[in-house]
Amino acid sequence: MPTGPASDPAKPAPPLSPELLQAASATFGLLAATVRLHLVWLLAEGERDVGTLAEQVGHSIATVSHHLAKLKLAGLVRARREGKHRVYFVDDQHVVEIVRLAIRHHGELEDSRLGRRESRHSRGA
């Protein structure tokens, strides 16, 4: 059962501080770049080094390193040294949940649109 302001429309939402809104907005801003969203998606499934990530997202190591540095600076990913390699991982389950929800949401929207299109084509045939 849903809880919070959406569960009772008559109940006003609690006030949010400008600092909290700015911080949340910054997180969404970082995740708005497709490559960074893809990196967090992959890291949510397990840690990887920059070379593996570059191969999986289809960008150069330099590009992926640049995006990882931004995510690391914002505290969305962390890194540890493993021999000569730096291994990256997501250490914040809230970030993982946000990314998974967004991807699942848009996957369901896409499936719904495809279902409607297929339905129209089958009726027209």
> Domain coordinates of the chain in residue numbers?
23-124
Average pLDDT taken over every residue of the chain: 89
Asked if residue 123 has pLDDT above 60, the reply is no
Entry field: residues in the chain: 125
Residue 1 confidence (pLDDT)? 44
Please say whether the beta carbons of 64 and 51 come within 8 A: no
- Give dist(CA 48, CA 73) in Å, integer: 18
- What digits encode the pLDDT tens for the residues 53-92? 999 999 999 999 999 999 999 999 999 999 999 999 998 8
Contacts for 70-73: CB closer than 8 Å, 24+ residues apart = 70/30, 70/36, 71/30, 71/36, 71/39, 71/40
Class of domain 23-124: mainly alpha
- Give dist(CA 72, CA 30) in Å, integer: 11
Please say whether the beta carbons of 90 and 76 come within 8 A: yes
Specify the higher pLDDT residue, 96 or 121.
Answer: 96
- Give dist(CA 51, CA 8) in Å, integer: 48
Mean pLDDT along residues 29-37: 95
Confidence of residue 111 (pLDDT cuts 50, 70, 90): confident
Asked if residue 29 has pLDDT above 90, the reply is yes
Q: How many CB atoms lie within 10 A of CB 64?
A: 25
Confidence of residue 4 (pLDDT cuts 50, 70, 90): low
